[in-house]
Structure 1
Amino acid sequence: MNTVVNDIPLEGSKQAARLLYIGHAVTFLFSLGLLNLIPLIINYIKRPETQGTFVYSHHGWMLRSFWIYIALVMAGGIMFVTILLIPVAWLVWVGAWIWYAYRLFRGFMDLNSNKPMP
Structure 2
Amino acid sequence: MNQEITPTPSPATDPKTYTIIIYILMTLGLFTGVFGLVAVIMAYIKKEDFKGTVYYDHMVYLIKTFWAGLAAAIVGIILMIILIGWIIFIAAYIWFIYRITLGFINLLDGKPVSTTSWF
TM-score (normalizing by structure 2): 0.80
Extract unaligned runs of 5+ from structure 1. Answer: 1-10
- The answer as to 2:104 corresponding to 1:108 is yes
Matched with 1:47 is 47
Of 23, 26, 33, which aligns to 1:24? 26
- The answer as to 2:9 corresponding to 1:13 is no
- Residue correspondences, number: 102
Tell me the percent identity.
30
Extract unaligned runs of 5+ from structure 2. Answer: 1-12, 115-119
Larger radius of gyration: 2
Deviation at 1:15, TM superposition (A): 1.1
Deviation at 1:34, TM superposition (A): 4.5
Deviation at 1:111, TM superposition (A): 0.5
Q: Which runs of 4+ in 1 moved over 2 A?
A: none
**More relative contact order, 1 or 2 (CA 8 Å, 6+ apart):** 1
Name the CA distance, whole Å, in 2 between partners of 1:63 and 1:37: 10
Larger proportion of helix: 1
**CA shift in 2, pair 1:101/1:18, >3 Å:** same
Name the CA distance, whole Å, in 2 between partners of 1:43 and 1:112: 17
